[in-house]
């Protein structure tokens, strides 16, 4: 039997080529050799306030993007997280095995809340501690606890491999920890998953700041190239992207802006970055930008042709079929979990 992979993405904001390179493209490749489940994690999205109509709209848009990128419903199950209620049931059970210390050390919680339980020195004076306590009390429980829901997403399907960005590896580690705890207490029940990070091109950086990851929530639209940007707009963004000093096209850490542009080129053309760099020997940054802008425009044209060819009705049918398949797997797993926990059937 093929090993199973599971991965998901939140229906929030415009997806960009960094999301495509860090996740979607890898999923398209992995569905050829794995039993694949891909999920739109709308339950994770509501850890911050959502407009209901916008959430529905974006969920459908993200599903179309999965399909436009090459996710094949004949090879993969594509579904919405909230359509499979076992996700929340298992999350609650895993909560009973999770310690506060497991969650306070999560880097994303620290970044989003601004609170660092690991650094006691930051508490400071009594007055500072009171302010710190006030800020902590204002943070939503969902933000604190959502790594447990992510663990449930993964463990529910006996997932062997989790394709993630490197900023999510810590959350997969929590899933591994909780699987071991459950297995040790109640008997072998869950597969202990492994994370799989796409190394080359996994972290596409901002076009306006190559020291920070490309972000759909960036203040400037010239930070990212959205998958639904008009092709000419994508071309323009590449031409306006920052570059490093000098003029030689080389792939070096000392030239982060140039390295980022070469990573994008490699991502879109499936050509190793060293080969791309060699093809520009004797040429300058302007030559690279012109060639890359053509590549970006061509990619966006192809992607959007696939995207706009999909109807809402067809996409909903795909997601319903995916949820049916996911629910079959999840319900069988939860029968085992309930029995081993001691719940009456």
* 191: enclosing H helix or E strand: none
Q: Which listed residue (75, 110, 216, 236) is catalytic?
A: 216
| Distance, CA of 256 to CA of 165 (rounded, Å) | 19
For the question of residue 216 being annotated catalytic, the response is yes
268, with CB counted inside 10 A (0-12, 13-18, 19+), is: buried
3 state DSSP class of 8: strand
Tokens 């319900």 found at: 331
CB distance 299 to 266 below 8 Å = no
Tokens 């049918």 found at: 317
How much is the CA Rg of the chain, to the nearest whole Å? 22
| Distance, CA of 175 to CA of 40 (rounded, Å) | 19
Residue in 233, 242, 279 with CA at minimum distance from that of residue 260: 242
| Distance, CA of 67 to CA of 85 (rounded, Å) | 24
DSSP state of 298: H
Q: Which listed residue (75, 112, 233, 283) is catalytic?
A: 112
- Say how many C-beta atoms besides its own lie within 10 A of residue 184's C-beta: 10
3 state DSSP class of 26: helix
| Distance, CA of 333 to CA of 336 (rounded, Å) | 5
Q: Which listed residue (25, 64, 196, 213) is catalytic?
A: 213
Query: 238-264 in b/e burial notation, b at 16+ Cβ within 10 A?
Result: beebebbeeeebbbeeebebbbbbbbb
Q: Six-digit token pair at 129?
A: 């501690």
Q: Six-digit token pair at 217?
A: 């929530």
- Say how many C-beta atoms besides its own lie within 10 A of residue 101's C-beta: 9
For the question of residue 213 being annotated catalytic, the response is yes
CB distance 213 to 205 below 8 Å = yes
Q: Show which residues are catalytic.
A: 112, 213, 216
């Amino acid at each position: 039997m093929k090993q199973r992979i599971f991965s998901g993405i939140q229906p929030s904001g415009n997806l960009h080529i960094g999301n495509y390179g860090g996740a979607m493209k890898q999923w398209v490749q992995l569905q050829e050799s794995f039993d694949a489940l891909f999920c739109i994690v709308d339950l994770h999205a509501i850890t911050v306030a959502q407009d209901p109509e916008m959430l529905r709209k974006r969920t459908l848009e993200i599903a179309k993007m999965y399909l436009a990128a090459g996710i094949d419903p004949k090879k993969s199950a594509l579904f919405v997280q909230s359509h499979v209620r076992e996700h929340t049931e298992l999350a609650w059970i895993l909560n009973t095995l999770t310690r506060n210390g497991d969650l306070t050390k999560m880097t994303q919680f620290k970044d989003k809340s601004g609170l660092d339980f690991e650094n006691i020195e930051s508490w400071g004076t009594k007055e500072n501690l009171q302010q710190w306590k006030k800020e902590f009390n204002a943070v939503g429980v969902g933000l604190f606890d959502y790594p447990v829901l992510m663990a449930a997403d993964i463990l529910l399907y006996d997932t062997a491999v989790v394709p993630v960005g490197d900023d999510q590896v810590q959350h997969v580690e929590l899933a591994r920890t909780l699987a071991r705890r459950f297995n040790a207490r109640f008997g072998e029940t869950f597969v202990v998953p492994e994370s799989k990070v796409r190394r080359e091109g996994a972290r596409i950086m901002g076009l306006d700041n190559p020291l920070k990851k490309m972000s759909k929530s960036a203040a400037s639209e010239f930070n990212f190239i959205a998958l639904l940007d008009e092709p000419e707009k994508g071309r323009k963004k590449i031409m306006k992207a920052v570059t490093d000093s000098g003029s030689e096209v080389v792939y070096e850490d000392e030239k982060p802006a140039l390295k980022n542009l070469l990573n994008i080129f490699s991502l879109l053309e499936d050509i190793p970055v060293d080969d791309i760099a060699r093809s520009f020997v004797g040429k300058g940054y302007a030559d690279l930008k012109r060639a890359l802008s053509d590549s970006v425009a061509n990619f966006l044209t192809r992607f959007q042709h696939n995207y706009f060819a999909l109807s809402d009705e067809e996409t909903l049918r795909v997601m319903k079929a995916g949820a049916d398949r996911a629910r079959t797997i999840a319900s069988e797993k939860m029968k085992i979990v309930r029995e081993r926990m001691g719940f009456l059937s």
